[in-house]
């Protein structure tokens, strides 16, 4: 009888301890930086040869390395690939646990369209500082500083484009909602970005681990607040896009089950400015470019051309 009462009294404590441990494990799994780029999925391995061809091309251009020091003492790095005599430039946001150089195919594409290219390593990635990944929230402020640096370098008459895929797509969308976005930013293109970090984490723990949102996501949110200073609910891409007046192109694969297609549709619906939505048939997550690189380039060029004073002759 006494043992029964003792178990009844301690069970909630054991459950709480176990739940907290599970939340910490989830947080570490999702937010902790790793110092390598994970292998591509089996479905994406077929593009490896073309991918490395673009990486080699970027390296052959001998890009400069730009640096940025933040107000919270983070040292950030980015590759700068300068197009000769161009006043147009794009900042390219990379995906989760990627780096700037992993976006080489997009860098090559935009360079051929006449853009100089900035490839940042976000916080918690690559050559930039950071123990944890902020999923675009702190990065949005860093991107504003990168944009200011680009304006200072190119001149106030430059024209800038925001582009990103997956987490990078969410990041540039968050940037688009900032009231201090430089007037030189003419358009945004986001590919397969999530609607919010809360939506994405809740979706993934259900799909990958068959677990409910509560209590793990709220607990992970509290852990993140203690370590990075914000709750997960702050990373609200839809809310940012409600404040966006710039032209926005949303691209999303119709077979995306990592960041599900409905998220792209909701991001498109949220944006307040001129906009277009391209749902790419048969494309899984972050595959839209690889399905047909020429069609991808043409689609982007056609959308952004009206907002830039002069596009490269190869458009």
Tell me how far the alpha carbon of residue 123 is from its chain's centroid. 11
| Nearest residue to 133 (alpha-carbon basis) of 200, 178, 186, 58 | 200
State the burial class of residue 266 (Cβ atoms within 10 Å of its Cβ: 0-12, 13-18, 19+): middle
Q: Please tell me the distance from the alpha carbon of residue 240 to that of residue 140, in angstroms, as a whole number.
A: 11
For the purposes of burial, counting CB atoms within 10 Å of the CB of 274, is it exposed (0-12), middle (13-18) or buried (19 or more)? middle
pLDDT value at residue 18: 81
Closest CA to 124 of 151, 107, 110, 142: 142
- Strand pairing of 88-93 and 116-121? parallel
> What integer best gives the mean pLDDT of the chain?
93
Q: Is the pLDDT of residue 113 over 60?
A: yes
How many Cβ atoms are within 10 Å of 290's Cβ, its own excluded? 16
Q: Could you tell me the residue ranges of all domains in the chain?
A: 42-196+235-305
Contact 145, 178 (CB under 8 A): no
Q: Distance from CA of residue 152 to its chain's centroid?
A: 24
Pairwise CA distance, residues 101 & 106, whole Å: 10
Percent of the chain, pLDDT > 70? 94
pTM of the model: 0.93
pLDDT of 4 above 70: no
Q: Which pLDDT does position 20 carry in this prediction?
A: 87
- Topology adopted by domain 42-196+235-305: Rossmann fold (3.40.50)
Please give the Cα distance from 1 to 68 (Å, whole number).
65
Question: Taking the CA atoms of the chain, what radius of gyration do you get in angstroms?
Answer: 21
Residue 27's alpha-carbon distances to 15, 16, 206, 220, 222, in angstroms, are: 18, 16, 15, 6, 10
**195-204 residue pLDDT tens:** 999 999 999 9
Separation between Cα atoms, residue 272 and residue 22, nearest integer Å: 39
Whether 254 shows a pLDDT value over 50: the answer reads yes
> Facing residues of 275 across strands?
248
- Which whole number is the average pLDDT over 148-163? 98
């Amino acid at each position: 009888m006494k043992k029964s009462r003792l178990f009844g009294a301690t069970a909630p404590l054991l459950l709480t301890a176990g739940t907290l441990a599970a939340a910490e494990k989830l947080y570490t799994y999702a937010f902790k930086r790793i110092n390598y780029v994970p292998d591509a999925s089996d479905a994406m391995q077929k593009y490896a040869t073309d991918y490395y061809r673009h990486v080699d091309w970027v390296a052959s251009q001998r890009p400069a390395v730009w640096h940025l020091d933040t107000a919270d003492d983070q040292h950030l790095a980015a590759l700068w690939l300068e197009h000769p005599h161009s006043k147009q430039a794009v900042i390219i946001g990379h995906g989760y646990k990627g780096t700037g150089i992993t976006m080489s195919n997009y860098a090559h594409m935009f360079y051929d369209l006449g853009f100089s290219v900035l490839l940042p390593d976000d916080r918690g990635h690559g050559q930039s500082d950071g123990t944890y990944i902020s999923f675009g929230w702190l990065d949005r402020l860093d991107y504003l500083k990168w944009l200011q640096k680009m304006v200072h370098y190119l001149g106030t008459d430059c024209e800038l484009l925001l582009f990103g895929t997956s987490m990078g797509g969410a990041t540039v969308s968050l940037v688009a909602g900032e009231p201090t976005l430089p007037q030189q930013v003419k358009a945004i293109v986001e590919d397969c970005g999530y609607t919010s970090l809360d939506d994405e984490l809740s979706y993934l723990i259900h799909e990958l681990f068959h677990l409910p949102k509560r209590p793990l996501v709220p607990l992970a949110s509290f852990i993140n607040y203690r370590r990075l200073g914000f709750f997960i609910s702050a990373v609200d891409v839809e809310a940012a896009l409600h404040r966006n007046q710039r032209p926005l192109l949303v691209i999303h694969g119709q077979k995306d089950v990592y960041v599900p297609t409905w998220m792209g549709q909701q991001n498109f619906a949220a944006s307040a400015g001129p906009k277009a939505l391209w749902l790419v048939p048969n494309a899984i997550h972050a595959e839209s470019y690889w399905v047909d690189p020429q069609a991808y380039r043409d689609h982007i060029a056609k959308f952004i051309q009206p907002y830039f004073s002069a596009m490269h002759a190869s458009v």
